[in-house]
Amino acid sequence: MRTNKKLTYAQAIDELEGIIEAIETESIDVDALARKVKRAAYLINFCKNNLRNTEEEVKKTLSEIEEKVGADEIQDTAREPF
């Protein structure tokens, strides 16, 4: 199990894929199953939060770009002769 301090989205996905493979191939013992399922639930929530945060950052950046482009267009229009 990886430490959560530096966990990345890619690492979480890799770990989830490993857990899924272990469950599907029945290579995981019953004693470890509950622990792996709890870890998988944590990783799924981690990924959802990461995606949500990334989506918010992208929307914010796009909004800032649109505002700047809109302001630039207004300035350009004001400079055009009649």
Domain residue limits at 50: 9-79
Cβ atoms within 10 Å, residue 37: 13
**Dihedral class, residue 26 (left if φ above 0, else alpha if ψ from -120 to 50, else beta):** left
Provide the whole-model pTM: 0.71
* Count of structural domains within the chain: 1
How many residues are present in the chain? 82
The residues near 28 (Cβ < 8 Å, ≥ 6 apart) are 22, 36
Could you tell me if residue 1 is inside a domain? no
Could you tell me if residue 43 is inside a domain? yes
pLDDT score recorded for residue 42: 97
Could you tell me if residue 32 is inside a domain? yes
What are 26-69's pLDDT values in tens digits? 888 888 999 999 999 999 999 999 999 999 999 999 988 888 87
